[in-house]
């Protein structure tokens, strides 16, 4: 157990270091640190034994999430897709332990969503549907109040709505936009935290966009004005965001961007 813990802790540090190096423009060093982190997770699993009380499903979940982090900081579409497939493999191994934990299901949703963003057309749509069914809905079935599942559903349905709108399927688009609003509405009303200030603002901003696309103007206005009051967004951002186009002829929105509100 001691060796497993050492390797696990080392893996966490190496992944964090790789992300920090990438952020500072130290890309070669970042690649080395991130790959070292993945190797350390492999070593941690090698020394892990669930029969001795080791949290192997938790470790597999962490490894799967780390693979998503590495994919995010890796150049090249095919390389990123391979890493996301490996992430899904580790996460599904974690789920096989049957702990009724929504975390690996949400991580599956995140991996499939990341794949969807790298694909186009029918392939992307299929991946978003899988993210909903295999990931976020599965997590929500375990805990209907799980914030990560609800936010994931909101994001996935909004993406599917935009895809449907782009090919002229207004009815399907409207259904997805309404589902997105429902998920975000549920998430923002829960007492559970939505993450740090930046993450919380992102959720509320996406909620505002979903409301706009679904024609829920009053809700969109409340979310946008709340974000502006708290410094969670700025006038310049909302002026150019095409997701908010349906609001731009509303008098309150015109007054807002002109500084008259």
Q: Is residue 167 part of a domain?
A: no
CB 124 within 8 A of CB 82: no
Share of the chain above pLDDT 70, in %: 95
Looking at residue 164, its pLDDT comes to 97
In angstroms, the CA 246 to CA 208 distance is 11
Q: Are 160 and 125 in contact (CB under 8 A)?
A: yes
Q: Does residue 232 sit within a domain?
A: no
pLDDT confidence of residue 4: 66
Determine, yes or no, domain membership for 28.
yes
**Higher pLDDT, residue 27 or 81:** 81
pLDDT in tens, 128-184: 999 999 999 999 999 999 999 999 999 999 999 999 999 999 999 999 999 999 999
pLDDT attached to residue 47: 76
Residue 199 is assigned to a structural domain of this protein: no
Q: What is the pLDDT of residue 260?
A: 58
**Number of structural domains found in the chain:** 1
Q: Is residue 140 part of a domain?
A: no
Residue 231 tokens read as 């410094």
| 32 backbone dihedrals φ, ψ, rounded to 5° | -65, -45
What domain range is 16 assigned to? 1-99
Cβ-contact 187, 202 below 8 angstroms:
no
Helix (H, G, I), strand (E, B) or coil at 158: helix
Listed range (2-6, 164-168, 250-254) with the worst mean pLDDT: 2-6
Q: With a cut of 80, say whether residue 261 has pLDDT above it.
A: no
pTM for this model (two decimals): 0.91
């Amino acid at each position: 157990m001691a060796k497993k813990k050492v390797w696990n802790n080392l893996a966490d540090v190496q992944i964090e270091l790789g992300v920090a190096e990438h952020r500072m423009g130290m890309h070669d060093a970042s690649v080395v640190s991130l790959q070292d982190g993945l190797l350390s997770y492999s070593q941690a699993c090698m020394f892990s034994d669930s029969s001795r009380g080791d949290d192997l499903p938790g470790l597999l979940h962490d490894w799967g999430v780390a693979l998503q982090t590495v994919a995010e900081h890796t150049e090249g579409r095919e390389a990123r897709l391979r890493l996301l497939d490996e992430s899904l493999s580790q996460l599904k191994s974690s789920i096989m332990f049957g702990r009724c934990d929504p975390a690996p299901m949400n991580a599956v949703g995140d991996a499939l969503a990341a794949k969807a963003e790298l694909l186009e057309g029918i392939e992307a749509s299929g991946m978003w549907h899988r993210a909903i069914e295999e990931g976020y809905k599965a997590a929500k079935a375990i805990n209907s109040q799980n914030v990560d599942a609800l936010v994931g559903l909101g994001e996935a349905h909004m993406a599917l709505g935009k895809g449907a709108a782009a090919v002229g399927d207004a009815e399907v688009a409207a259904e997805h936009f309404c589902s997105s609003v429902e998920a975000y509405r549920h998430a923002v009303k829960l007492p559970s935290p939505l993450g740090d200030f930046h993450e919380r603002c992102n959720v509320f901003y996406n909620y505002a966009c979903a409301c706009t696309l679904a024609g829920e103007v009053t809700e969109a206005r409340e979310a946008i004005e709340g974000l502006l009051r708290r410094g969670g967004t700025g006038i310049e951002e909302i002026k150019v965001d095409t997701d908010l186009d349906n609001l731009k002829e509303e008098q309150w929105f015109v007054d807002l961007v002109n500084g008259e509100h």
